[in-house]
A and B are shown apart, each in its own frame.
Chain A
Amino acid sequence: EVQLVESGGGLVQPGRSLKLSCAASGFTFSNYGMHWIRQAPTKGLEWVASISPSGGSTYYRDSVKGRFTISRDNAKSTLYLQMDSLRSEDTATYYCATDRLNPYVMDAWGQGASVTVSS
């Protein structure tokens, strides 16, 4: 059974950093692209970042470029999102997702990690 479990969320002050993790199991992690998607309270879904199976290619939405870094450790089957210079507008539930079916088809999602940026 495919499982994606996010961790590392919490309350953080503006300008500080936080690192999310997504532990994967039930599939060959190193074969598939991975993604972070977020959802602000009572709002819709917003794609944040993606990474290729090898980790050699990464993509970001403009609003997080230069502040967030997506990475992966294929030996540990774990995806990361390093979030620096956090802003109040980064407050959201962050989901990790994978595309095992086909590239860019996010067929499995985690339960989400809540990040609140507030002083």
Chain B
Amino acid sequence: DIVMTQGALPNPVPSGESASITCRSSKSLVYKDGKTYLNWFLQRPGQSPQLLTYWTSTRASGVSERFSGSGSGTYFTLKISRVRAEDAGVYYCQQVREYPFTFGSGTKLEIK
């Protein structure tokens, strides 16, 4: 199985600052079609997960431009610019390069 390893954040993050979350995979997430199958989700307290980005860097519909995904191969980053109170929650990366799909353990973002 592909293991996804997420980094931690120096919580709490002051409102208006930027925050970057790292995610490493144990195997390249590039598929033979050339796409990199890495998704990012945010789960706010008490809510279902919400898709933020897919294919590493494509933002989902309705997601703020403050969220930007980057990376390639086995190393990925989700950057949140000018963090706001509503960004608080747990962020998960997920690989869908192959079954079984796997998630990182989650990175908690707290806002000051």
Interface size counted on chain B using CB atoms at 8 A? 24
Q: Chain A residues near B90 (CB, 8 Å)?
A: 44
Return the contact of B100 from the options A45, A61, A102, A104 (Cβ within 8 A). Answer: A61
Q: Which of A44, A60, A105, A110 contacts B48 (CB 8 A)?
A: A110
Q: How far is the CB of B44 from chain A (nearest CB, A)?
A: 12
Give me the interface of B with A, judged by CB distance under 8 Å.
37, 39, 41, 43, 48-51, 54-55, 60-61, 90, 92, 94, 96, 99-106
A89 near B: Cβ within 8 Å?
no
Closest chain-A Cβ to B37's Cβ sits at a distance in Å of 6
List, in ascending order, chain B residues with CB within 8 A of A50's CB.
99, 101
Closest to A102 in B: B54
Q: A59-B99, A109-B48 are in contact. List 20 more A-B contacts (CB 8 A).
A: A44-B105, A44-B106, A45-B43, A45-B106, A47-B100, A47-B101, A47-B102, A47-B103, A50-B99, A95-B49, A101-B51, A101-B61, A104-B101, A105-B39, A105-B55, A106-B39, A107-B54, A109-B49, A109-B50, A112-B48
Q: Is the CB of A111 within 8 A of B49?
A: no
Measured between beta carbons, the chain A residues less than 8 angstroms from B105 are: 44
Confirm or deny: A73 has a beta carbon within 8 angstroms of a beta carbon on chain B: no
Could you write out 6 A-B pairs with CB less than 8 Å apart?
Answer: A44-B106, A47-B101, A101-B54, A104-B96, A106-B49, A110-B48
**A106 CB contact (under 8 Å) in B51, B100, B106:** B51
Which of A45, A61, A112 has the most chain B CB atoms inside 10 A of its CB? Answer: A45
Q: Are A44 and B101 in contact (CB under 8 A)?
A: no
Complex CA gap A111/B47 in Å reads 7
Determine the distance from Cα of A45 to Cα of B101 in the docked complex, in whole angstroms. 11
Known: A45-B103, A46-B103, A50-B101. A101 touches B96 (CB 8 A): no
